[in-house]
Every structure is written in structure tokens, then in C-alpha cells.
Structure 1
Amino acid sequence: MIKSYFKIALRGFRRHKLFTLINVVGLSIGISAALVIYLIVHFDFTFDKFHKDSDRIYRVTTNYSFAGEVGYNNGVTMALPGAVKTEATGVDIVAPFYIYGQQDVIIPDGPVANHKLKKQEGIVFADEQYFNLIHYDWLAGSAKTSLKRPNQVVLTSAQAKIYFPKLEYSEMIGKQVIYDDSLKTTVSGVVAPITENTDFLFHDFISYITGTSDHYIKDQFDMTQWGNTNSASQLFIKLSDKASSAQVEKQLNVMLKAHNPPKPEDKGNSSGFHLQALNEIHFDQQYGGMDGVRTANKTTLYGLLVIAAFLLVLGCINFINLTTAQASQRAKEIGIRKTMGSKRSQLIIQFLSETFLITLFAVIISIALAPVILKLFADFVPQGISANVFKQPGLIIFLIVLTIGVSILSGFYPALVLSGYKPVSVLKNQASNNNSKTRNAWLRKSLTVTQFVIAQFFIMATILVSKQIYYALHKDLGFKKDAIVNISTPYKSINTNKQQVFMNKLIAIPQIELISVGGAAPSSNNTNSTTVTYTDGKKEIKTDLQQKFADENYLKVYKIKLLAGRNLMQADTSGNIVINNTYAKVLGFRTPDKALGKLLDYNGKKREIVGVTVDFYQKSLHSPIKPLAILMPVHNKWNNRTFHIAFKPQTAGGNEWKTGISSMEKIWKEIYPDDDFEYAFYDESIAKFYNAEQHTSTLLTWATGLSILISCLGLLGLAIYTTGQRTKEIGVRKVLGATVTQIVTLLSTELMWLIGLAFVLVTPLAYYAMQKWMENFADRTTISWWIFALSGVGMLLLALVTLSFQTVKAAVANPVSSLRSE
């Protein structure tokens, strides 16, 4: 019986090749999108789900409220872990670790003597409790003893093979590894790396006690300091079975007040600890994930699911529309089968079998396309995603469920319609009554409107996102961003004269116009702020003030305009500062010049305002402009290691900048031979602020294109069916004198009205969605009327072009051919 169903289905496919092709293409597009999006969403939602008792594991984070500004830090004060171990209840495991950051590593007994590996990441200081919290399989050494003593290090097997490629794991025990040229450690254990999806990507575990005993890094491990918070200092805890996170969080905050009681001058400011569940870390945008590890955005993932659902629905709508439209062509087949004794249930199974076969073909095509699509979007698809069906049992289950679900969604209603014909009416050429004709027509119209609502929504969203990105990249940010290169010198060279030598040699390069040395660029992700007080004689104004460290050339390099006063000078190192106009207004000055000469209480030191600049953005357009001070950097300090280099204008088609960079690299290698030469054009750094939006724009563009393709395929199918049904009518009209234009208009009008109705329905919905998305930007473009007009007109033109392929063909056909049988 089943074999018979499939044989009849294949025979029908051969008879209606074009409609079958349209259905397969429409469904395969939707299923391909669903498959790739499933891989992405499933990948991100499985992070760190495999840990034992993962629902009881939390990261302790720190919240601030300071001078009206709210801040979030994923680290804790170094003193907290010890206090939790001795004072907190309801905690089974306390696992602090300190992220060491990017370090050079020397292997004295490596493949080459004193083999050096530059800029290694994934290095942490941890104790044995870390391995009680996060499970690893031990290949050499022991979790109980490998991190007990100072200067011990545990390696993952992958990293151990990089350091000691020719040794067995047991032979690596006792070998030396040197970090940052001075921290000497001995290998005490080797573990297998975690193979599941995880944010715990560390591979070098130095014993935590090393941080408190080694003189080189001891100053970073102040276990008595409660007032400072460092994002490198991480604390994970595992709660007892019956303990609640709210109870433990309350204990930690009581502990903070006891050890670091608030001072009178801190009135209005506060800090506290928050317990963040392990399963939230991978998606956290507020505190951030692990150091250097990508975080996912749940809103984006849910948006991807919506796109997949829309594309699947479009494919299913096409199938329902075309199948019900062809119903009358299969009426006699149904009548004969019923007369021969077929039951309605058997016919329903027959039609569902046909739908299942088409869906199966579409799924097979989608499986073949998935690796290609993943490569196409490789720039923003997370690494580690694989489309290999045979290695992912969950993916096989998903495809089976998807195939059955799409088959039922697409095929059930058409099966009910087709199997419901009465054999007596069918064999009298009365395939259906007027009520069923009207009902089916209304269904097709409703589904067509739904298709074009979805397609036009994507068009409108794509145009708006592109408009906002263009606005962000071309807006006057208050500073120059073109023809400027940023270079940061190594930290270890700060207390040497190398920076001055580097500066002197750069000045001699003919392509360079001007150089400034200081801290971060005007707009960057680096944030430095402090609390500053101004007293006007009547009241005290306390403000959280952003800081930029810059020399006298900084404003000139970035062409930041002064509204009042003067620029910084070398003599200003002792106290004078320049502020932005926003801060001048916060202090109550109506005009910038009124702020000149005023004194600020700057961390207990008096500083005089000598200049006021225009406002410029300190971060992306997501964030508002904040009160800012520009002050001279301190010589040989961390805030005096970034070179801001302005190039002279480049001639048309010239390569002066390339030549200048080559000269800079040559000088760098002379002065810093052990460090890689890295530079960044500043306008490219600004563009990176909007990577997420650019990825969103790319995805929307593809979704728009695919939705238009599916909708137009469905429209073409309906046009083919409609013109086929009205062949004789067209012939009669042509004989009576109708022109080609009149016939094309007649055949297109109804469908064009449906597209117009879709535009009316989607416009308010799209406007609301756009407004919500734009709330993510402190400075944003306008939602212009032409976005909607362009979408509507564009969709009408596309639909008209699609319809014209069939309507013009029907209109120019010889009427004799269609009327010959009459």
C-alpha cells in the first residue's frame, strides 16, 4: 500500500514538473535556513550544560552605583574568596582564579632550547578547588596535589604537546615553563581538554598560591584589599543542595559592609555582589563572558529563530496555495478513486505521502547546502559549528521532526480539501460548489497577503538597519578619524627610554604629519573614570568623570575643536586640564568660557580648567556623550604608551601610507625585536563598533532576498494556474478587441491589490519594531517615510515583473488555439 502511494506521488510529480519544482525550491530554502539556524542556536544554548550540578554553580560579580552612573564588573575584590571560605554558609566549593592575560612563554627544554611562544592566552592562576568545580580527566598528576605548592603549573594535553611535542605526558612532569620572561613554573599535571561547548578555555593553570609568594606578581594579589575590583579576579562558587542564591548573595553583601564600611563622603554611592548563574554567562552582555571568549546574544538568537520560522512558513504557504489551486485538476482522479472504494482517510494519507516526498527532497537538498551556507557566513558564524549529520544524533532527530512537521503543516489542509470532493459531483464536472470555491479562494488570498507581509517586513527592516549603519559611520563624531594610525608600545618598555627613541625615529618619516603619545583614542572601548568634585560656593557637584590622557598634539591629530581657552601644554602635567562642553554644562556654565579658571577637587588634588572642547563621542553611538576631562599623561606610566600618528594626505592612486607603515615597521623591529608590530587605522577601529549591526544587516539582506524569491515563486505559480484557468476567457476577450495591456492588467490587478493590502498591514507593525530596535542607540537616524514607500513600490514592481512572465505570454497567445475546441 505504501509503495503504491509513493509510486502515484512520483507519477504526479512528473506530470506537474513546474509546480513540483516551485514547491521543492520554496521548502528547501526555508528548511536550509531552519537547519543552519538550528545549528547556530543549538551550539550556543549547549554551552556549559554538561557540568555536574551546573544549576548550583554561580559566578560572583560586582555592581556599582557611583555619582548616578551604574557599573558592572565580572570580577571581585581579591579579599573576597578567603572571606567566603571562612565566613559564608551554604557554599560547598569556593573556586577563585586570576586571569593572567596574554603572556610570552619560554620553554627551556622545548623542541628548541629556550623556545619562545608569543602572546599566549588562556593562562590562569587557580587552586585545586577549580578542578573540583570543573571536571577534567587527568592524564598525569593529581587534582589533590598538582596545585598545592607555589610555582606549579597544570597543562591541558593540547597545550602540553605544543610545549613538549616529543614527550609522553608522564615525562612532562617536572619540566619548566617560564611566563613573561620571569615567572618560573614546574609542570605538575596534565589534563585532557574539555571537548563539550564551554567558556572555560584555559589551558595553563598556575597554582594560585604562586600569586601571593612570587615577588614579580605579588603586588597584583593583595588579599587584604576590599576597595579595589579587578575583572581578572574571578570567583566561582557551588552552593549547597538546599541553599538559595538569594541567601548567599545577601551574606556576601553583609560581608562587604563589615570589611569595607561605607564612608560619609561616599553618600549616594554603593557597591555590592551579585550571583550570576553559570548558564547565563555565555549570553551576558552586561558583565561580559570569560576573558577573550565570545558571548552570544539571546535576542539575536531568538531573532534568527523568527527568521527561520518566517522562511519555513513562506515555503509552506507556497505549497498550500499551489496545491489547493490545482485541486480541480485532480478532481476526476479523486472521483474515480472514491468510486472504486477508496476511503477519505486513504486519500488523505496519499496526499500527505506526496507532501512528505517533496519535503524529503527539500531536506536532502538542505543537508547538502548547509556546509556551503556555513562557509558563506563564516565571518560571524561561531567557530566549532559542524553540519556533519552523522556525528550529531540531535541533528538527526531535529531533521526527522522538521520533515514530519513541515509535511503536516504544508499538506494537511490541501489533503482535507482534495479528499473532500464528492464523486457524483466530480464525474458531472462539478468539482466543487460555490461555497468551497469561495472558501479556497479566500484562503489563497489570505496566505498570499501573509507572504508579502513577511517579505515587506524584511525589506523595511533591512533598509532601516543599513540607514542606521550608514548614519553611524558617516556622522561627525566630533573628531577626525581618517588617515590616523594607532600603535601601542609594550608594557614592559614603559620604564625605559625606548619610547622616546621610537618617537624620535618616527618623526623623521616623511609621510607622517604629526604624532601624539598618550592613552586611548577619543572613541574606544577602553574606559577610565574617576570621581571629581566642584564647589561653586553654594553647592557641591560630584560627578563621575571620564578621562583621556593626552599630550599637546592630541587635539591637533584628531582635529578636536576648542570652544574656549587653550590646548594642553607640557607644563600642565602638574594640574591643568581640558574638559568637554557636556561637563561644562553639568557644572552649571551656560557658555564654555565661564568654566575657564575654575578649580576641581580631583582625587584630593586641585586642577584648573584651561580649555573646553566640543563634545565628541567616547564610545559608539549606542552610548551617550558623558562628562570628560583631558589631561596630560604621566611619563613612563600605562597611560602614556599609545602613539596616535596622523599621515599626510595621500595622492590619488598613491601608496605613501603603505610606504610610511613599512618604515614604521622597520623602526619597530629595531627597537622592539621581540614584539610583533601591530597597528590599526582608526576609521577601521570605529567601524568595528558596529560589527553586530553589520552582521544583522547581512542576515536581513539574505532573509529579504530569500523571502522575496519564495514569494515571487509562489506568485508565479498562482499566475500560471490563473492564466491556465482563464485561457478561453482570454481568447474571447482578444477576439472581441481587448488589447495586450488590458488583458495583462486584468490578470494582474487582483494579485497587485493583495500586495497593496499586505503593505497596509505591515507598515504599522514594521514601524513599531523599528522603534524598539532603534532604542539601542543613544544617537540614531530618523525612521523616514521613504523607507516604507520604497519597500511598497519595490515590492509592487518585483511582483509585476514576476507576473509579467506569465501574463504577457497568455495575453499575446493566439486566441484561435484556445477557442478551437468550442
Structure 2
Amino acid sequence: MIRNYLKTAWRTMVKDKTYATINILGLTIGLAACMLVFTVVIDELSYDKFWSRADDLYKVNSSNKMADGLYQKNRYTPLGLAYMLKERFPEMEQFATINSSEARLRIRNDDLDGIALTVIDTDTNALEMFDFQVVSGQLTPFVAGQKNLVITESFRDRHFKGEEPIGKIIEDVPTWSKSPTSYLITAVIKDIPQNTHLRADAIALTSPPADNGELTKKGIRGGRNIYYMLKPGTDAVAFNDKINSWFRDFMENPNEKKNVSFELQPVTEIYLDSDFDSELTVRGNRNTIYILTGVGALLLLIACINFVNLSTARAMKRLKETGVRKILGAQRSQLVGQFLTESLLFFSVSTILAVGLYRLALPVIESFIGHGLAHSLLANVGTFGVTLALVFAMSIVTGAYPAWLLSGFNPSNTLRGKLFQDRIVSAGGMRKALVVVQFTIAIVVLVALLVVRYQVDYLADKPLGYDKENLLHIGVRNWEGKGQTFKTELKKLPGIEAASIAGWSPVDGAVTFRTLPFDHPLKDDEKIEIQCIVADFDFVQTLGFKLQEGRHLNAAYATDAFELNATWQMDSLERHQYINSRAVLITASTAEMLGVQELGVPIPKLGYPPVGVLQDFHRESLHHALGPVFILAEQNPDYTRMFIRTTPGMEKQAQESLMKLWREIYPNRLLDAQWVTDILDKQYEAEQKQQTLFSFFSGLMLFLSAMGVFGLIVHATQQRVKEIGVRKVLGASVAGIVRLLSTDFVKLVLIAVAVASPIAWWAMSKWLEDFAYRIDIQWWMFAAAGLVAIVIALLTVSWQAVRAALANPVDSLRDE
């Protein structure tokens, strides 16, 4: 019986090649795209689950309750807290300080700028918590004298070909310290899997740090990135409550006692749930997973809709076959079995082709997301078996409706060509509804594409309040007291117009220091937090800020000079009086927010006499709204950044001169100068990738929808071939016949536009909520998406409709 089913199914497929091609191509694209999307989703959800003690590993974050009731999270917690918890609570097994950072190692003397790599800086406690597989050398004991460096196999193969790296001492190219740091290579480990937020090429080990008193009853100072390992079976929620209860009893500082708390974050959630941690180099986003999951499911849904539509459309061509089979004694179950076998055959052929397409596309996907995928649907027998089982179930579910429909007709009706008598919902009505669903999905994605594109363009083009062009940025450096000397010599070079040392980053808006919440000058019982940028006196002119009122900060005025380092030597009262008497520049929105009416006068409850008002500028990405900003001037700030304004057209010469001067003054230090425009573009890299994804998937969805419509119009013209012939004989024009065949499909697309518009508006409104500055969703976006869908439908329909209209009516009327 099964053999006959397969033979009949194969003959049916070969007989109608157009129907078979459309179905197989649509299912292949849908299955391959869905497999690729879900490979990425599975990989994203698998981060850090491979560690043997993953269920017991946590990172502790601190949370500070602000005046507005919101909580400010911080990745750093006191080292003293870790020691106290281990001493007082049996649930605590081990802890380690861990940081991941970019570094450059000078393996050979001729590597002036070193070799870039990602390094995990940690202590030997981490070796008890995370399982690294040793290939050669040894992880313990720790060899005193310098940091112990553990490198991965791939790093060894790239940079130590034919050499034994164990025992070698290498140095880094410092960006911060005055002299390079030495590393002793003690071991080679297997590559750390890509699906971890601790992705790295090497591990720099130190001995465990000693308790440095960062936690006292009087308050918290300092902090580190600390991971904890609890004993197996520990209730993390209950232990978290126990920690905070102990902390409230231990602490005497009323502010911290009331507002500070700690949160145990599972290591398996760090990758997707660390939006507050701007320093995390490997970070994901749950919204991206939701988007990818939805897109993958919708693509496959469109492909399945095509299959259902074309299967029911072919019912008319197989009426007599079905009727004769029933008259000859075929049971309904046998007919259902036959049609389900056909569905399974289509899905089987499509799956084979989809697997081939999947293997070809996987490297492209890895290149797009920027790292290898640790999981693949074809990686092991179990995963592949589950994939096949799901495809099999999908083929049964998708084929069930056409099979039930085709096998349920009355034999006398089928032989007379009457299908849907006494049916409340006809198959034709169902096909139209499914076409509407297809185009609704495609139009929603098209609108999303337009919104994302215009939002990204808006972010890229919106004035930031300073001149970002021809501006170089050097990251945080220890200038060793030579910053002003370097800047003075730099300004003498050709191609350099201006330079400034400043404690502000255009990458994430980081500033030199953030003030504690102050009493709001205009609102009782309300606090306000102010960001303070400490920079030299050339900062405003170098960045191109616009002075709206007042004057610039000037070294000639005693109150304009601020010395940050000097404040650490003062007691709290002296520090408060000194800082609050310093003159500042403020932005226009800050002046309005604080009610500043007169310049040169200290702001009530705050101090800080403002001497000038700048036009507003965006201190951080446009995801965030403008906040209050003070600019203080220090003659020679250290541990800060540098901005360099170059002459247009002389960018290359300016970079070469900068590098030469750098090597003269800082011969052993790394220079990492980047254009500010490049830095700002990276802020919206996620949105740009979403735009690319929407472009690709909207194209696929429209293509699959067009294929489905093409199959339906082929069927419609075949069913109305005699009608078309009669109309032509009676004088109908080609345009009239095309219009006749196109009208129904255009109506369906218009209905899809009406259905898709509110859905797309709601979805994209939610997406735009993540941006403090965003575009308004315009009516023309829905009209444009609908027009594209209508044009594609018309082109698809017209291709077959014109062919039918140009056919010889004699052949049409003679055909049986």
C-alpha cells in the first residue's frame, strides 16, 4: 500500500512540474531560512550552559535605589563583601575576580603594536569554578614573579607555529601603565567555546587578591567584577535574601543601609541580561531573539500556506480522480493516506535541498554575526533527529487540511465538478484568507524595514551639538603628567588644528566622575544627578560646542581652574567647599532644568557658579535623553582621553604625524586613535544589523508570497481557459482579461494592507520606545509597503494573465 502511495505521489509530482517546482522551492527556502534562524536562536540561548558547575555560578551586581524610585545597577561589588560572605555563610564555596578586556601582546621584538587579542584577567580561584581543558603545560601551581598566561590552542597555532610556547615570557604593549607587564606562558588549553560571555584567546592569572577593606560598616568604596560559586543545591533566591538581610544589619551608613542591595545573577543569564553593563565585550539582546524567532516562524508559515493553497487549488484538477476512486471502493482513510504521502514526499525532497542550502549559508551567517556558532542542527545525531521529526510532524499537519478536504467530497458532486455544496466555508474562501495572511506578514515586515531604516538614518544624521567630522579620539590613558606637553607639540604638526585632553567618552557617555544625587534646586524632596566632564581649557573649542550665553572657562580666572587629584587630599567638608565653588559651563537644557537665571551666581543647593551656557549636545547615544551636564576645567588632567581636530583633506598626514610624535614621547605605549564618526557608527551597529535582516527577510517573504500567488493564478487561468476564449471571441481586449484575472488578487492585497497596518504600527511603536529620540511613524510608510506588495502581486499575476489572454481562442475552446 505504501509503495503504491509513493508511486502515485511521484507520478503526480512529475506530471505537474509547475506545481511541484513552486511547492518544493517555497518549502526549501522556508525550511532553510527557519533552520538558520533557529540555529542562531539556539546558540544565543546556550551561552555559558556548558560549564560543569553552570547551575552554581553567579555574578553579584549591586543595586542602588535612586530618588525617583528606579534602581541603578552596577557590575562592581566590594572585594570585602566576597570575603565576608565566604567567612560567614556555608552556602558560599568560592569566588574570583574576573574581567574580560582587549589587549596587545608583543610576542616578537618587531611587533611594535603587538598582537590584538581578548584576555580574561582573573585569579587562580577561577580555575576551581570554570573547567578549562589543558592541552599542554599546567594551570597550577601559580608561578610567582609575573602574571601567568594561559593561551588557547588556536592562538598558539596562529602565533607559535613550530615553537613550544610553554615557559616563554612575553610583554604587553601598555595603554595605561608606564611600563609593559610581563607574562609567563604556563599552559595551553582547548579553545574556550564561542557561546560564552567570557570568550577569549588567553587567560591572565594572578594569585587571589587580599581583602583591601572595600567594605566597612561606614560604607562601600571601590568594587570589582566578582563571580561566586555556591555549593550544589543552594537555593539562590533564599541566599540572595540572606545576603541583603545581613548587609542591612551590618551597615551603619544610613543611605547605603536603606538603598543599596545585591543581586545574584546566574552566569547563564549574563549574556542576555546585562544591558546596564556597557563594559561587557560579549553581550546579546533578548529582543533580537524574539525578532529572529518570529521571523523564522513566519517564513515557514508563508511556505506552508503556499503548500496548502496550491494543494487545495489542485483539487479541481483531481475531482474526477477522487470521484472514481471512491466509486471503486476507496475508503476516505486511504485517500487521506495518499494525499498525506504526497505531502510527505514534497517535504522530504525540500528538506534534502534545505539541508544543502543550510550548510552553504551557515558560514555566511557566522560572518554576519561576527563569531562562530557553537551549535548546529546538523552537529549531532540527536539534534538532527529532532529536526527531522519536526519536519515530519509539519508535513503531516500541513498536509492534513488538503487531504481531509480532497477526500471528503461526495462522489456524484466530484464527477459533476461541484465541490463545495453545503459547505459553510469553501476551500476558495480559505485560500483567499491564507493569501491575505501571507501578504499581511510581508507588509508588516516591509513597514518594519522602513521604520528601522529611517530610524537608523535619523540617528546617523541628527546633529549632536558638536562637530564629529575630522575628529580623532584616543582612549583613556595615563598621561604621566606629560599630557599638556604632548598636546602642545601635537598642535605644531601639519594637519592638526586643535587638541584637548578630556574625561568624556563619545562611545558610552562615560565622564570623569558622576556627582552624588543633589537636592533639586526647584523641587523639594527630589534629587537630581549631574554628570561632570573634567577637561582642559581647549575642550569646548576643539569639539566645536556653541556658546549660547556667557563666556568660556579661562585659566586667567582662579575659580575656573579645577584640580581633581587635589580633592582626594581634602577632608569631606573642604572637598565640598572647594568643588562647589568651581566655575562650570552648563548646557541650555541643564540651565532650564535647574532654573538658572543669572550667570556667575552659585546654583541654589548645588553651588557650582555657571559662567557660560552651551547649546545642548548629546553626551551619549540617542537611546538616552539629555541629562544635566557640568563642564569643569583642569589644566593638565590625567587618566583621561584626548580629542584631536584635523584639517579636512589632511587626515592621513595628521595620523602619520600623530604616530611619529607618540613614539617619541611614549615609545613603549600603544596608540589607539579612532575617528569619532567610526565610534559613533558602532553605537547603532545592532540597529544596522536589524535593518539588514529586515531587508533580507522582507525580500524572502515577498518572494514566497509572489510564488504562491503565481501558482494560484496558473490554476485560475487553467480553470477559466474556456471563459477567456469566449471573451476573446466576443471582442474582449488583452487588458480587459488581465484586469479580470488581477482584480481579485489586488483586493486581497488591499485587505492585507488594512490588516497589517495596525499590527505594524503597534509593533514598531514598541520597538521605538528604546530610543529617547525617534522618528514618527508616517502614513506613507504603510502606503509604500502596500504599494510594493500590490506591484509585486500585479507583476506576478500579469505574467500569467497576459499569456492566457494572448493564447489562441480556438485552442482554448477546443481544449478538454
TM over 0.5: yes
Which residue pairs with 1:512 in the alignment? 496
What is the SS of the residue equivalent to 2:501? strand
Whether the 8 Å CA contact 2:247–2:257 is kept in 1: the answer is no
Q: Distance in 1 between matches of 2:506 and 2:197?
A: 32
For 1:327, the aligned partner's letter is: A
Kindly report which structure 2 residues correspond to 1:526-541, keeping only aligned pairs within 5 A, or say none.
526-527=510-511, 528-531=513-516, 533=518
Q: Distance in 2 between matches of 1:535 and 1:728?
A: 83
Q: Residue 244 of structure 1 is aligned with which of 235, 245, 270?
A: 235
| 1:681-705 deviation per Cα after TM superposition (whole angstroms, max 9, x unaligned) | 2222222211111111111111111
Cross-structure match for 1:207: 206
The structure 2 residue matched to 1:481, chosen from 451, 468, 479, is 468
Choose which of 136, 141, 147 in structure 2 pairs with 1:146: 141
Question: Structure 1 pair 545/422, CA: closer, same or farther in 2 (3 Å)?
Answer: same
State percent identity of aligned pairs: 29
Which residue does the alignment assign to 1:326? 314
Which letter does structure 2 place at the counterpart of 1:509? L
Say if 1:624 and 1:778, in contact at 8 Å, map to a contact too.
yes
Taking the TM superposition and a 5 Å limit, the aligned residue runs for 1:558-707 are 558-571=543-556, 572-574=560-562, 575-589=582-596, 591=597, 594-598=598-602, 607-633=608-634, 635=636, 637-639=638-640, 641-642=641-642, 644-650=643-649, 656-707=650-701
Q: Compared with structure 1, are the counterparts of its residues 505 and 363 closer, same or farther at alpha carbon in structure 2 (3 Å cutoff)?
A: farther
SS at match of 1:391: coil
Is contact 1:62-1:76 (8 Å) kept?
A: yes
Structure 1 partner of 2:267: 278
Aligned partners of 2:546 and 2:741: how far apart in 1? 63
The answer for unaligned runs of 5 or more in structure 2 is 563-581
**1 CA distance for matches of 2:62 and 2:477?**
30
The alpha-carbon deviation at position 280 of structure 1 amounts to 1.1
> 1:267 Cα deviation (Å)?
8.7
Q: Counterpart amino acid of 2:631?
A: I
Name the CA shift for 1:540/1:743 in 2 (closer, same or farther; >3 Å).
closer
Q: Using the alignment, how far apart are the partners of 1:514 and 1:421 within structure 2? A: 84
1:112-151 aligned at under 5 Å gives the runs: 118=115, 120-128=117-125, 130-138=126-134, 146-147=141-142
- Cα shift at 1:148: 9.4
Q: State the shift of 1:469 in Å.
A: 1.1
1:286-345 per-position Cα deviation (integer Å, ceiling 9, x unaligned): 3439x6542221221121111011111100111111111111212222334344444332
- Which whole-Å CA distance do the structure 2 matches of 1:472 and 1:385 have between them? 31
Shift in Å at residue 24 of structure 1? Answer: 1.2
Q: CA deviation at 1:562?
A: 1.9
CA separation of 1:669 and 1:489: change in aligned 2, threshold 3 A? farther
The verdict on how the C-alpha distance between 1:230 and 1:98 changes in structure 2, with shifts beyond 3 A counting, is farther
**Could you list the runs of 5+ residues in structure 1 that have no partner in the other structure?**
213-220, 651-655
Change beyond 3 A, Cα 1:183–1:648: closer
Asked if residue 429 in structure 1 is aligned to residue 426 in structure 2, the reply is no
704-713 vs 397-406, which deviates more? 397-406
Q: Within 2, Cα distance between the matches of 1:268 and 1:580?
A: 34
Aligned pair 1:470/2:457, yes or no?
A: yes
Cα 1:433/1:610, change in 2 over 3 Å? closer
The 8 Å contact of residues 146 and 188 in structure 1, kept in 2 or not, is answered as no
Most deviating of 673-682 and 305-314:
673-682
Rounded Cα–Cα distance in structure 2 between residues aligned with 1:258 and 1:238: 22
Aligned to 1:74: 75
SS at match of 2:150: strand
What's the offset of the Cα at 1:821? 5.7
For 1:10 and 1:548, the matched residues in 2 are separated by 74
Q: How does 1:284-323 map to 2 (within 5 A)?
A: 284-288=273-277, 292-323=280-311
Give the 3 Å change call, closer, same or farther, for CA 294–371 of structure 1 in structure 2.
farther
Which residue type is aligned with residue 57 of structure 1? Answer: L
- In structure 1, give the amino acid aligned to 2:539: Y
Provide the secondary structure at the position in 1 that maps to 2:419.
coil
- 1:418-443 CA distances to partner (integer Å, 9 max, x unpaired)? 222344444x4335243459611111
SS of residue paired to 2:504: coil
SS in 2 for 1:434: coil
Distance 1:522 1:239, change over 3 A: same
User: 2:789 matched to 1:795?
Assistant: yes
Counterpart contact for 2:507–2:679, Cα < 8 Å: no
Query: Aligned partners of 1:115 and 1:663: how far apart in 2?
Result: 17
> What is the RMSD computed on CA atoms of the aligned residues?
3.3
In structure 2, what is the Cα distance between the partners aligned to 1:114 and 1:743? Answer: 74
Match of 1:31 in 2: 31
1:741 aligns with 2:735: yes
Secondary structure at 1:72 match in 2 = strand
Equivalent position of 1:215 in the other structure: none
The amino acid across from 2:212 in the alignment is D
> Amino acid of the residue matched to residue 64 of structure 2?
Y
Specify the alignment match of 1:253 in structure 2: 244
> Using the alignment, how far apart are the partners of 1:523 and 1:381 within structure 2?
21
Q: Would the aligned equivalents of 2:501 and 2:539 in 1 still touch at CA under 8 Å?
A: yes
Which SS does the other structure have where 1:10 is aligned? helix
- Contact 1:84-1:94 within 8 A present in 2 as well: no
1:611, distance to aligned residue in structure 2 (A): 1.1
- Aligned residue for 2:3, secondary structure, equals helix
Q: Secondary structure at the match of 1:295?
A: coil
Mapped contact 2:35–2:377 kept (Cα < 8 A): no
Q: How far does residue 803 in structure 1 lie from its aligned partner after superposition?
A: 1.0
Q: Tell me if the contact between 2:195 and 2:373 (Cα under 8 Å) persists in the aligned partners.
A: no
CA displacement at 1:378 relative to structure 2: 4.5
Pair 452,102 (structure 1): closer, same or farther in 2 beyond 3 Å: closer
Once structures 1 and 2 are overlaid, which stretch shifts more, 9-18 or 367-376? 367-376
Residues paired across the two proteins, number: 783
User: In structure 1, what is the equivalent of residue 447 of structure 2?
Assistant: 460
Q: In the TM superposition, what are the counterparts of 1:98-113 in structure 2 within 5 Å?
A: 98-99=98-99, 101-103=101-103, 105=105
Shift of 1:595: 4.2
Are the aligned partners of 1:76 and 1:235 in contact in 2 as well (CA < 8 Å)? no
Cα-to-partner distance string for 1:744-789 (whole Å, 9 max, x where unaligned): 2221111111111111112111111121111111111111111112
